[in-house]
């Protein structure tokens, strides 16, 4: 099939590359000509395991192409995927200006039947707005062209997106036209060969499903972080509690790991958007408000633990930081806990030596030029002469360090572990003061 993807960001590029991998002819459109030039030159501007190889293979096979020519994109594909950003507005609502701009573009250039697929994460009712936008453009130009608008939300995890797309646990299709359901079923058939994973529903239910999924996962994370803070106060070990509740098949182990808060481009934005959407229809989403409040507080835990350890005297201290991305296997620092930590340390007059396997460049773009930040090229360099080590991201290479060498490098043998990577008894036996999440010890939540 011929497919057009509007947007070459995370979702658009992964979607385009994976659809091309199964033999489709995909044309990715973006108004950012610099990005298009990079992609046509063989450079992939985002870090996602396996994506660069997938893009290169399908470009070389002639199945994947990139352009800034929107008219060519509309002319190319029966399926017109909208995969542009929906950043939060100041009030927390999803900003649909880019989605509706693409809708107008499709309406301006469309001359034959098209299926417009909302792949971006959008509020309930967006498909209606897209349909109205295209219909208005057609009316203004005096044209009559048949089209359908469907919702097909993505469920991609950063760091595992290729596997999530190629072997999905579900494919949600929201449409009011049985014809489009069958066409999309054909499109996704290569990804569901061993059993049917396609779930067909009405458009508004599909739109809400995406927000509901992310809000549920965010809720599990905040719930465990709430329990972790309580565990510290009552002398319990949240890791033992996690195993105790996770063994219940009604709960399971996914997304119940305590830590230093969730971040990234999805959970924070989508929780805010769902809260705003609820308010827009006169409903207060109190659980979601609490999920957001707990997460905001949890992002400050690492700084509070460090400040308490040094009796509030962080001025002049050098802090080694392992991990800058909001999670492992990505370079995404949007809403990352590391940003909250770094900015709090700088307000206190501390210096930072930070290392991340792939997010160093991203940090440089955000904070470049600061004389109180050194982006290091190894974990060992980040702790050289540091007064403490703080672990923010759960990269695999941080899981088994040389503790003897680490102790020798640090000026003070203290580790603040935001991901509970180590066994407290073992680390203490190595001569460290070890502060983690939800293990026994004092915590100040004020």
Positions marked active-site? 266
- Strand, coil or helix: what is 362? helix
Distance CA 362, CA 360 (A): 5
**Residue partners of 339: CB distance under 8 A and separation at least 6:** 333, 366
Question: What is the DSSP secondary structure assignment for residue 190, as one 8-state letter?
Answer: G
CA atoms within 13 A on the CB side of 319: 33
- Strand, coil or helix: what is 40? helix
* CB-based burial, 302-339: b 16+ in 10 Å, e otherwise: bbbbbbebbeeebeebbbbbbbbbbbbbbbbbbbbbbb
Distance CA 386, CA 406 (A): 10
Question: What is the DSSP secondary structure assignment for residue 444, as one 8-state letter?
Answer: -
**Residue partners of 331: CB distance under 8 A and separation at least 6:** 46, 47, 325, 356, 358, 359, 361, 362
Q: Are 419 and 441 in contact (CB under 8 A)?
A: no
**Residue partners of 359: CB distance under 8 A and separation at least 6:** 324, 325, 330, 331, 332, 333, 393
Q: Are 307 and 236 in contact (CB under 8 A)?
A: no
């Amino acid at each position: 099939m011929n497919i057009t993807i509007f947007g070459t960001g995370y979702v658009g590029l992964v979607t385009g590359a994976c659809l091309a991998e199964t033999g489709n002819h995909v044309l990715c459109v973006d108004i950012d000509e610099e990005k298009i030039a990079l992609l046509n030159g063989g450079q992939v501007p985002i870090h996602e395991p396996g994506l660069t190889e997938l893009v290169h293979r399908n470009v070389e096979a002639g199945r994947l192409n990139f352009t800034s020519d929107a008219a060519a994109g509309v002319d190319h594909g029966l399926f017109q995927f909208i995969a542009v950003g929906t950043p939060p507005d100041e009030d927390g609502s999803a900003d649909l200006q880019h989605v509706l701009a693409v809708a107008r573009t499709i309406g301006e250039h469309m001359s034959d039947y098209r299926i417009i697929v909302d792949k971006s994460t959008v509020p309930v009712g967006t498909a209606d707005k897209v349909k109205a936008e295209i219909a208005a453009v057609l009316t203004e130009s005096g044209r009559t062209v048949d089209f359908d608008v469907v919702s097909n939300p993505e469920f991609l995890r950063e760091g595992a997106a290729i596997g999530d797309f190629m072997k999905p646990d579900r494919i949600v299709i929201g449409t009011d036209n049985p014809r489009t359901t069958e066409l999309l079923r054909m499109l996704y058939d290569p990804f569901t060969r061993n059993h049917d994973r396609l779930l067909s529903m009405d458009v508004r239910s599909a739109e809400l499903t995406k927000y509901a999924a992310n809000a549920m996962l965010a809720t599990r994370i905040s719930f465990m972080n709430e329990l972790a803070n309580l565990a510290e106060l009552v002398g319990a070990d949240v890791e033992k509690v996690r195993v105790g509740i996770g063994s219940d098949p009604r709960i399971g182990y996914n997304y119940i790991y305590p830590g230093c808060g969730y971040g990234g481009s999805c959970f924070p934005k989508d929780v805010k958007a769902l809260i705003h959407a609820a308010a827009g229809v006169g409903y207060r989403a109190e659980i979601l408000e609490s999920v957001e409040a707990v997460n905001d507080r949890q992002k400050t835990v690492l700084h509070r633990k460090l400040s308490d350890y040094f009796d509030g005297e962080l001025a002049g201290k050098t802090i080694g930081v392992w991990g800058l991305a909001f999670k492992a296997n990505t370079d995404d620092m949007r809403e990352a806990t590391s940003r909250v930590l770094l900015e709090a340390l700088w307000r206190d007059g501390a210096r930072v030596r930070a290392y991340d396997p792939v997010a160093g460049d991203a940090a440089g773009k955000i904070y470049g030029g600061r004389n109180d930040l050194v982006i290091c090229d190894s974990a060992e360099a980040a702790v050289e002469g540091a007064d403490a080590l703080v672990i923010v991201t759960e990269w695999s290479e941080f899981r088994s360090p040389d503790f003897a060498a680490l102790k020798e490098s640090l000026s003070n043998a203290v580790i603040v572990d935001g991901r509970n990577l180590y066994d407290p008894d073992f680390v203490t036996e190595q001569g460290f003061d070890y502060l983690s999440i939800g293990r026994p010890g004092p915590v100040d939540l004020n």
